[in-house]
Structure 1
Amino acid sequence: MAKAKTPGRRPQTAQPAIAGAAVAADAPKKPRVSVPQFISQVNAERRKIVWPSRKETWITSVMVFIMVALAAAFFFVVDTVLAFASRNILAIGQ
């Protein structure tokens, strides 16, 4: 059975004297690649890109416009109700 953790307590880890120094020293060195190899890797990644079709773009755009219209209507109603309520509350004191 797993031991239950005590809520609110974190395990203690050794803190380096200078935070950045320990991180830089522990980081593994990445091998440098030549420019032609880099360009071939970029082209290989570029070939993996799948662009949306015209239909997918159209449907997504319509959905965004519908959501914007719904959000605008919602905030208009909320703003109107709050303005009405604040006018009535402030009118009580006059």
Structure 2
Amino acid sequence: MARKPGSNPQAMRNRAARTAAVMATPAGAAPAAPKKRTSPAQFFREVRAEARKITWTSRKETWITSVMVAIMVTVAALFFWGVDTALTVLLSLVLRLANAG
């Protein structure tokens, strides 16, 4: 039977030692690097650069998506109307049987 890689005792000890070292250091012990402050002008340049990467859908894609949403809403509405009607009929039948007995 083949052994899993890293399942020998030495590898297990190494992993345990690394885990213990990480667990021993408190979360706040490592000094956080100070955040680099950017100027408002640099911020807006970066915003413009990111905004240029946006790809907008075409008018045709928007129309097709809107039609598909309308179709799915109609199908879902018909489904729930059918389930509601079936449950109403079933419940009224059960109530009629309960009142008859």
Which TM-score applies when normalising by structure 2? 0.66
State the superposition RMSD in angstroms.
2.3
Q: From 36, 41, 46, give the equivalent of 1:36.
A: 41
Which TM-score applies when normalising by structure 1? 0.71
User: Structure 2: which 5+ residue stretches go unaligned?
Assistant: 8-22
How many residue pairs match? The answer is 77
By how many angstroms is 1:26 displaced? 7.1
Structure 1 residues 71, 27: CA separation in 2 closer, same or farther (over 3 Å shift)? Answer: farther
User: Structure 1: which 5+ residue stretches go unaligned?
Assistant: 4-13, 15-21
Partner of 2:97: 92
Deviations 1:35-84 (A, max 9, x none): 00000000001101111000000000000000000000000000000000
**Hey, which of these two has a bigger chunk of helix by percent?**
2
CA distance in 1, matches of 2:92, 2:32: 61
Matched, 1:65 2:70: yes
**Aligned-residue identity in percent:** 51
Deviating beyond 4 angstroms after TM superposition, the runs of 4 or more aligned structure 1 residues are 25-29
By how many angstroms is 1:32 displaced? 1.7
By how many angstroms is 1:93 displaced? 1.2
